[in-house]
Amino acid sequence: MNYISTRGNFEAVSSARAIKLGMVPTGGLFVPEFLPVLSMNDLANMVNCSYQEVAEKVLGLYLTDYSAEEIRECIDRAYNGQNFDTPEIAPLFQLNNHTYFLELWHGPTAAFKDMALQIMPPLLSKAVKKVQSDKGIVILVATSGDTGKAALEGYKNVPGIRIIVFYPYGGVSKVQELQMTTTDGNNTYVVAVKGNFDDCQNAVKEIFGDPDYNRFLNEHGIELSSANSINWGRLVPQIIYYIWSYLSLVRQGQINMGDKINIVVPTGNFGNILAGYYAYRMGLPVNKFICASNENKVLTDFFRTGAYDRNREFIKTNSPSMDILISSNLERFLFEVNGHNSELINKWFRELNATGVFNIDAETRARIDAILAAGFATEEETLATIREVFEKKHYTVDTHTAVALKVYWDYVKSTKDHTPTVIASTANPFKFNAAVLEAIKGPEAIAGKDEMAILQELREVSGMEIHPGLRDLDKKPVRHNRVAAKEELVQEINNILGV
C-alpha cells in the first residue's frame, strides 16, 4: 500500500518512507491510497485474539512493505508486561449497562499516547533501514503535555535517532512538566516555549516546511521526522484499540457481532478520534462518533456551524492536553470525507493560513453530521462530572475523560440514543491530580499544597495506587531546563545538534 498527500502535491510513497518523513515535505499529510476492509467474518475470527494478535492483523494491512516478522518484532517490543501493567493492554471498565471506559493509560507514561509511541520507534528504525537512509534522524515533537513524555520514553537511547520536545511554558501540569524535564537518555532534549501549544505546533510545522533549513540540515547529515500524530506511524497504531474495544465487548457478551456502538473521544488535535474513524471506514460497526472538547471548543463550533475559526481567545483549562485551536488531523478527516478531493483541502487550508477561518460546503457538513456529533464541557462541568462518577461508582477519572463523559451525557439527553458506547479514557487521573482532588474534595483540599503532596492524598482518597511513571518525580534530577521564544527555536535546534 502506498501513501499520498492530502494536498495532491507529492508523489505516492511506501509506508516506510511516509513514517520516516513524518509529514509531506511540500505541505499536507500522508494518508493511505485506499482503506483496507475487515468483513464481519474477519472481525468474528479475531474475537478471541490477544491485543498483540489484533495489532499484528491491523498493522499488516497498512504496513505492506514491512514483513510479518518485522511487524511482530515491533509489537513484541511495544506491547509487553514491562511496558504495560495489564495483559489486556487496553482494558474496558463498565460504568453502567451501556457505557464503557476504554482505559488507554496503562503504559509507561500514564497516557494514551503510549499506545502508539511504544511501537512507533521500532517502526521508524526499520523504516530508516528500508529506505536506506545514511543520515541521522532528529524527531521534533510539539506537545500539549502527554505526547512529549510518551515520545521521550519511546525514543530514548534509540541508536541513530535524537528527539527534541517543545512544550508550552506554563501550559502543562506540574506532573507533565516533571515527567519531561527529568527524562534520562543520551539522545533526549526538551525545550519550554514561551507561548501556547499552537505556537509550538506551528513553529515545528514551519521548520518541517522550510526547504532551505532542511537543506542545511541535510548538508550536516541530518533529516527531520515527527512523533506527533501528523506522522502516519503515530496514527496507525491507534486504529488497533478501537477494533480491540469492539472485540472485547463481543467477547464479554455485551454486544453481538455486527451490533453498532458509539465512540466518544476527548479531542484536541483530532488524531485519536480520526483513528476511530479509520476503524469505522475499515468496517467496524459504528453508529456515531462524539467529539468532545473543553472550553477551547473550536471543533465543537466547527461541527455545529461548518465554520472553522481559530481567531479566538486561547483558554488555559484543567484539561490542558486539549487546549488546542489548530487541529492538524482535521485535514485528513476532511480529505477522507470528501473522497480524496485535494483541491478542496488546498482551498480550505490556504484560507485558514491566510485568514484563520474556512467554511465547508453543505454537502460536506451533511456527510459529517451522518456519523459525528460534537459538544463541549466547561471546567466546572468537568469537575462536577469527576465528583459524580466518584461518588456514585467510586471510579476515578481524569479531567479529559470527564470532558468526554459530560459531552456524552449531554448527547444522550438530547438524542435518547442508548447505543452501547465506548469512551476513550485518555489519561490516568494522577496525571492531573490537583484538578481531580479538587473535584472530589473541594478547592480547600489543594490549597497551598504542591502536586507531590496532592498525589499522595489522591491515592488515599481514591484507593488507587499512583502510576509507577508518576512516582517520586520531585526526587529525580531535572535534566532539561531550556526556555525559548518561538522565534528562537531554530537556533535552539542548531545549538542542540551542534550545527
Report pLDDT digits (tens) over 36-57. 999 999 999 999 999 999 999 9
> Using one digit for the tens of pLDDT, what is the confidence trace for 155-214?
999 999 999 999 999 999 889 999 999 999 999 999 999 999 999 999 998 999 899 999
The pLDDT assigned to 158 comes to: 93
Q: Cell numbers at residue 136, please?
A: 541521522
- The mean per-residue pLDDT over the stretch 112-141 comes to 95
**Stretch 426-452: mean pLDDT:** 95
User: Which is nearest to 131 in space by CA: 88, 151, 160, 89?
Assistant: 160
Assess whether the region 87-112+233-464 and the region 136-220+467-498 belong to the same CATH fold: yes
Instruction: Give the pLDDT band (50/70/90) at residue 146.
Output: confident
Q: What are phi and psi of 105, to 5 degrees?
A: -120, 25
- What's the predicted TM-score (pTM) here? 0.95
Residue 464: per-residue pLDDT = 96
343 pLDDT tier (thresholds 50, 70, 90):
very high
Question: How far is 130 from 15, CA to CA, in rounded Å?
Answer: 10
293-319, pLDDT tens digit by residue?
Answer: 999 999 999 999 999 999 999 999 999
pLDDT beyond 90 at 451: no
Residue 301 is predicted with a pLDDT of: 98
Rounded Cα distance between 318 and 298, Å, is 17
- pLDDT bin (cut points 50, 70, 90) of residue 286 is very high
Q: What is the DSSP string of 435-446?
A: HHHHHHH-GGGT
**Rounded Cα–Cα distance for residues 21 and 128 (Å):** 10
Distance CA 48, CA 375 (A): 35
Mean pLDDT on 473-482:
94
- Please count the other Cβ atoms lying within 10 Å of the Cβ belonging to residue 38: 18
Does residue 327 have a pLDDT over 90?
yes
Cell representation of residue 294: 473543553
Residue 228 pLDDT exceeds 90:
no
pLDDT of residue 173: 87
User: Mean pLDDT, to the nearest integer, of 263-277?
Assistant: 97
Written as one string, the DSSP assignment of 134-153 is: -SEEEEEEE-SSHHHHHHHH
Q: What is the pLDDT of residue 145?
A: 84
Average per-residue pLDDT for the chain: 96
pLDDT confidence tier of residue 283, bands split at 50, 70 and 90: very high
C-beta separation of 382 from 294 below 8 A: yes
pLDDT at site 155 = 95
Distances (CA, A) of 100 to 346, 366, 395: 38, 28, 12
Is CATH 3.30.70.890 the right assignment for the domain spanning 87-112+233-464?
no
Decide if domain 136-220+467-498 falls under CATH 3.40.50.1100: yes
Give the residue extent of every domain in the chain. Answer: 87-112+233-464, 136-220+467-498
Burial class (CB in 10 A: 0-12, 13-18, 19+), 316: middle
With both helix axes pointing from N to C terminus, report the angle between 379-393 and 399-415 in degrees, rounded to the nearest 10.
Answer: 90
Closest CA to 322 of 423, 455, 431, 171: 171
Longest alpha-carbon distance in the chain: 61
